[in-house]
Structures are given as structure tokens and as C-alpha cells.
Chain A
């Protein structure tokens, strides 16, 4: 094998490695962009509605407190 052929082979190998690295990088980016599903995403854009009622003295419900934290 001549020195020119050996250099061509090394260049071709380097090209394949570079192409594979680029493809892998693209794949990783794609996965990062798309792979973010975390079940149902919470949102505050629709605030929903609560169900509140006057307190009942005879209620057996557990007691909690809302306050500024």
C-alpha cells in the first residue's frame, strides 16, 4: 500500500467517524427535544374550579390551615 492510499483510508475513516458523531449528536438533540413527557403536565393556564362550602361544626373532615408562608 502506498502512502497516498494509506492517507486516503485514514481520511475515509475520519469521515465515517465524523458522520457517525454528527448523527449521534443529532439523535441526542432529538431525544432531548422530544423526550420530555412526564405524565400529565401541570398547568395554571386553566385554573380549574375548587369546591368550597361553609364549615360545619359537626364535620369529621381533617383540619388544615392556609396562611402566608
Chain B
């Protein structure tokens, strides 16, 4: 961590802020506290929990929830549904139904799979319509969106990182998973994978990255995928999609001009955009 950086816990991860004044740091802390109180799946009083319990098909969202909901639907459209905000039921069925620090192995089998249904959502202003029984989970975008929003609260150069999802202004040296580093001059970088939030249910390994096509924890060739993009949100969404696409992940990123590094055990695979970005800078 940089000497001038400050850190605090939020959203189940460590948030690191660099380049903020005391007032800006306080504002960043408030932002993460507010967002966690709104979007937590594990707080019964959160807006997310209340919406998921709400018996009516149409609900009125707060402005912040609307913002995140619209972003989540945009991410779903951009990834052809790979990053889907309707997988709350699936992740609970896999056993992730409490804070990860409280999660242990469970002898009970996983619940039934629950496929992504984001196309059935209708958002009109602050009115959200969703089929009965839909369980939203916006964690596919909320953390990285909060990182981008937090960086906007800092007037000068610096970075904000939450659990390894990073947004940078003015440049930072970024340590990469399993070694290596690069300079990120602007934008965001994020890593997604199944190596950390893992547990067993009914003797079967589970993790938190649900494949909306199967409604189950994704099966991927990759352990981790790191992506750099124009924002932390874009990097995070692209990293999740590339992980889920398995063999097709590197080419999917190249089609979008995004640099990605994939780890499979001890083997690293960089896509064309990653190599070209770094080589162009050297030349």
C-alpha cells in the first residue's frame, strides 16, 4: 500500500484510498457505508432485501438504486446477459446466503438452479417491474461502480481500490495476481475468478460467479481473469464475462479492444490487446 494511502473495511473487502484529503476520505467512507446499506444481500433492512421481499410486481426504487439498476441492465446488455442482475436466487441456492466470513461447508445439497432473467426486467424511470420470485443481486456491478463514484470525490490524482477492483487518476503501479505489475495511467483494472470465495455444498465445490446460462457456479478454464478498461466498472464487468466465456474469453476482450490476462494454474495467457498495449509503450 502507498504511504499516503488510507484503508477501511466495507462491502466485505478492504477499501484503499490514495490521494484524498481528510474531507474527501470521509466522503468516500460515507459513500461506501451508504452503498453497503442499500445493496447488501445480508442486511434484512437494505433496499435490495426489501425489494426482493416485496410482493408486488412493480416497485419504486430510490435514486441510488435506480442508478445501479440501470447500470446493471446496461452491463447485462453489453455482455449478452453474462453479467445478470437476477441471479440472487442462484447464488443463494449455491449456499452463499450469509456474509462470506460466516460461510462454512454445508452437507446439504445445493438448491435448484436459477437461470438469469434480466430480459424480463422493465425499468421506467424509478419504477421497476420484475416477474414474481425474481431475486435481484447487483453485486456484479455495485462494488466497481462504487469505486468509480468514490474516485470522483477526489479532486486530484489518486486511486480507489475495493477488494482489488481499482480506479486510477494520474497513474498508479498495479500489482497483478500471482506476481508482476504494470502502470495504469488512467481508467480501471479488476480481477475476477473463483479462487477466493469458495465453499462446499453437499460435497460439491461452489463459488460466487454464477453462469446465468446454467444457473450454477460457472465452470471455466481460468482461475482468474484481469482486465484493464476505461473505468473500474467496465473492467470488472468485462473480467466476469471473460471468465464465464472460458476459452472464448481472450478473443471476446480483443473484439472490444480490452487488455486481459488470464491465469490457469501456473500458466498465464495474455490476449492480443494486452500484449500490444504493453509493447507499444515500450517501443
Contact = CB atoms under 8 A, between A and B. Distances in A.
A56 interface: yes
Interface in B190-214: 190-197
Interface string A30-64: 00111110100111111111111111100101111
B74 A55 contact: no
Given A34-B125, A69-B165, A44 B177 contact: no
A42 B195 contact: no
A69 B220 CA distance: 17
Contacts, number: 195
A66 interface: yes
Contacts of A63: 1-2, 172-173, 175
Interface residues of B, number: 84
A33 B125 contact: yes
Interface of A: 29, 32-36, 38, 41-56, 59, 61-69
Interface of B: 1-2, 4-5, 12-13, 16, 18-19, 60, 63-64, 66-67, 70-71, 74-75, 77-79, 83, 124-127, 141, 143, 145, 148-149, 158-159, 161-166, 168, 171-177, 181-197, 224, 226, 228-231, 233-235, 237-238, 256-259, 274, 277-278, 281-282
